Structures are given as C-alpha cells and as structure tokens.
C-alpha cells in the first residue's frame, strides 16, 4: 500500500503507544505520517503532539482505548501508555508485551491478587 516504509525517528518512537506493532513512517503528499497496528486495526498520526486515528474510519483513538489494551490496566497507577510503565503499590512496573503481563523491574511477574485481596465471600464475612 505504501511504496516506501521509513524507520521511525527517536521522537516518533516515543509517540508510539506501547502496545502497537508493525510501526513505520511514510511520506504522504509531502508530510511524514506514522502508522502502526493497534490490535487488528491500522492507526496513524502526524507525529508528536497529534492524536492517533483509525485508518479506516478516521475516528480518534481515545487514550482510554490505549490504556485498556494493557492486561489489568485498571489495577495499576500512573499508567504511561507510551512507555508501558506504571506503578503498583508504590513500585515501578513494566508491561511485558510478549507475555501480556506486568513485571517488576527485576522481571518478576506482578501478582495483583494476593490472598488478602482475593478473599472468597465466606472469608470476607469472617473478617467483618
């Protein structure tokens, strides 16, 4: 579809949402446009400071859609969907794209459901 796919520059790479794949830049009518695959859809942006849009319908990809692409995103704090980093219980964590899970910086997987937080209803009744 695009005759020349260009590598992204450092600022363009920083603008790329972390859970996207197959990213590249192309010159379209004299403008450099960024493209990537987000889930099963193609998205594009005019670069840093510009929004991402779905290529097929040209609707803006909302920030909440990017955040929702991370497993257990609702359990983390300060999620940066560009870098794939967040915090859990005050510790820095990073998203592992290959395994679709969160890990601590020492590469140990994050366990969001410790026994004290994942009680059965009977256990919760006992603690009341």
Q: What angle do CA 52, 95, 118 make, to 5 degrees?
A: 120
pLDDT digits (tens, 9 = 90+) for 68-113: 999 999 999 999 999 999 999 999 999 999 999 999 999 999 999 8
pLDDT digits (tens, 9 = 90+) for 8-21: 999 999 999 999 99
Q: CA–CA distance from 74 to each of 51, 78, 87 (Å)?
A: 23, 10, 11
pTM equals 0.81
Domain segments of the chain as ranges: 10-64, 70-104
Residue 120: the pLDDT is 42
Nearest to 66 by CA among 75, 79, 47: 79
Residue 115: the pLDDT is 58
Residue 114: the pLDDT is 75
């Amino acid at each position: 579809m695009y005759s020349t796919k260009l590598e992204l520059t450092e600022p363009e790479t920083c603008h790329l949402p972390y859970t996207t794949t197959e990213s590249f830049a192309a010159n379209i009518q004299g403008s450099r446009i960024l493209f990537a695959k987000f889930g099963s859809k193609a998205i594009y942006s005019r670069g840093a400071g510009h929004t991402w849009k779905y290529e097929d319908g040209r609707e803006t990809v909302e920030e909440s859609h990017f955040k929702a692409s991370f497993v257990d995103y609702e359990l983390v704090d300060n999620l940066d969907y560009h870098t794939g980093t967040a915090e859990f219980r005050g510790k820095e964590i990073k998203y592992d794209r290959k395994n679709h899970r969160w890990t601590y910086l020492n590469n140990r997987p994050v366990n969001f459901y410790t026994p004290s937080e994942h009680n059965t209803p009977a256990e919760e009744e006992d603690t009341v």
